[in-house]
């Protein structure tokens, strides 16, 4: 049975972020309670020993060894006081688990900054399991000057698409646009742009490697994917999503990528900046951390 999506909605404006989240607390807590009941039944029916969940706050039980996966130990709301309140709520749930696994490097060479390395840690065991990605780096000849990955919630995805389409029409570059709409059969045609509504993981892996520069949202999964492929990226955070805004700013300050806002986005200026800025590709070390964590679990329960 598929679990309920939390369906968290974000405010367009940073000043309303905390109030928008608060307005959804009752609905979110109700879904967390339902998924916890669902888990207890699954454990009883199938004699489950270990539960590993990705940011599911209700998948904890005293009947099994439960592991919570998140890169957001700290949550950025845009305001210091609400940061403290939200972190306490976050830790209240995380501390119900046996372990917390963080998909990031445990040292200074990391992608999530204060989100994954806060001053105050949860009381449960925290393990850094390295950068995770479905993609694999290979040597491929470059084919495109620019790849644009459009993703994220509406209406901001469509708003950003309209901004880009106006500016792409006469750009003298070889461009590919992935619209992030797997269920949309409508097509958009531009004479100088190769457009896809959706691509499989293998095709997307290939097309990223074939592209000189990538424009994308600064969601953490996208960041890990592009870091794994050592891609040169221009990140444009979704307006109102303070996590994406923090991550884009953090990567920019560490000279790992370029960061631009959607409101004043100018594609030619952004491309000029990334071409004249010295960026340091993120160094992916041999990722044994995840394998070590899994091996430890196997040894403990076998």
Helix axes 220-228, 242-253, angle to 10 degrees: 30
Looking at residue 255, its pLDDT comes to 95
Which structural domain range is residue 44 located in? 14-131+290-301
* The pLDDT value given to residue 282: 84
Q: d(Cα 147, Cα 177) in Å, to the nearest integer? A: 6
The secondary structure element, H or E, covering residue 161 is: helix 156-168
Q: Which two tokens stand for residue 154?
A: 């509406």
Phi, psi at 194, each rounded to 5°: -85, 120
Q: What does DSSP assign to residue 285?
A: P
Is the domain of 153 the same as that of 124? no
**Cβ neighbour number for residue 80 with a 10 Å cutoff:** 7
Same domain, 117 and 201: no
| 204 shares a domain with 174 | yes
Asked if the structure places residue 6 within a domain, the reply is: no
Residue 7 within a domain: no
> What's the pLDDT tens digit per position in 177-232?
999 887 776 667 778 899 999 999 999 999 999 999 999 999 999 999 999 999 99
What CATH number is given to the structural domain containing 213? 3.40.50.2000
Together in a domain, 30 and 97: yes
1 in any annotated domain: no
* pLDDT, average across residues 118-122: 95
What's the pLDDT score for residue 81? 87
Shared domain for 257 and 203, answered yes or no, is: yes
Same domain, 186 and 109: no
Establish if 5 belongs to a structural domain: no
Its pTM stands at 0.91
Same domain, 148 and 241: yes
CB of 179 closer than 8 Å to CB of 194? no
Q: Is residue 109 part of a domain?
A: yes
Q: Tokens at residue 33, please?
A: 């309670």
For the CA atoms of the chain, what is the radius of gyration?
A: 20
Both 155 and 263 in a single domain? yes
**How many structural domains is the chain composed of?**
2
Between CA 89 and CA 103 the distance in angstroms is: 21
Compute the distance between CA of residue 172 and CA of residue 121 in angstroms, rounded to an integer. Answer: 50
Residue 8 confidence (pLDDT): 66
φ and ψ of 148, to 5 deg: -115, 125
pLDDT in tens, 239-282: 988 999 999 999 999 999 999 999 999 999 999 999 999 998 88
Same domain, 168 and 260: yes
148 lies in the same domain as 127: no
- Residue with token string 């959607």: 262
| Same domain for 169 and 115 | no
Question: Does residue 138 sit within a domain?
Answer: no
Return the DSSP state at 15: G
Q: Give the separation between CA 18 and CA 75, rounded to whole angstroms.
A: 11
In a domain, 210, yes or no: yes
- Identify whether 245 is part of a domain: yes
Same domain, yes or no: 45 and 165: no
pLDDT of residue 235: 98
Q: Over the stretch 59-113, which tens digit does the pLDDT of each residue have?
A: 999 999 999 999 999 998 888 888 898 899 999 999 999 999 999 999 888 999 9
**For residue 233, what is the enclosing H or E element?**
strand 232-235
């Amino acid at each position: 049975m598929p679990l309920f999506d939390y369906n968290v909605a974000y405010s367009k404006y940073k000043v309303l972020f905390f109030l928008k989240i608060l307005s959804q607390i009752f609905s979110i807590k109700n879904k967390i309670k339902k998924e916890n009941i669902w888990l207890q039944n699954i454990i009883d029916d199938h004699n489950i020993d270990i539960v590993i969940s990705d940011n599911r706050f209700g998948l904890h039980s005293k009947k099994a060894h439960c592991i919570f996966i998140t890169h957001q130990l700290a949550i950025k709301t845009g305001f210091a006081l609400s940061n403290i309140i939200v972190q306490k709520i976050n830790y209240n749930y995380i501390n119900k688990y046996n372990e917390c696994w963080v998909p990031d490097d445990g040292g200074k060479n990391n992608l999530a900054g204060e989100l994954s390395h806060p001053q105050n840690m949860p009381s449960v065991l925290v393990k850094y399991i390295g950068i995770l990605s479905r993609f694999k780096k290979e040597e491929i000849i470059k084919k495109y000057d620019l790849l644009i990955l459009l993703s994220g919630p509406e209406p901001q995805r469509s708003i950003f698409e309209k901004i880009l389409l106006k500016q792409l029409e006469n750009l003298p570059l070889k461009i590919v646009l992935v619209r992030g709409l797997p269920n949309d059969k409508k097509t958009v045609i531009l004479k100088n742009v190769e457009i896809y509504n959706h691509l499989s993981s293998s095709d997307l892996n290939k097309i990223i490697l074939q592209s000189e520069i990538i424009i994308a949202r600064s969601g953490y999964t996208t960041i890990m994917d592009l870091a794994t492929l050592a891609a040169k990226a221009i990140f444009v955070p979704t307006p109102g999503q303070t996590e994406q805004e923090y991550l884009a700013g953090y990567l920019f300050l560490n000279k790992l990528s370029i960061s631009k806002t959607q409101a004043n986005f100018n594609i030619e200026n952004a491309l000029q900046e990334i071409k004249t800025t010295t960026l340091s590709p993120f160094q992916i070390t041999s990722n044994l951390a995840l394998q070590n964590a899994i091996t430890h679990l196997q040894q403990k329960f076998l």
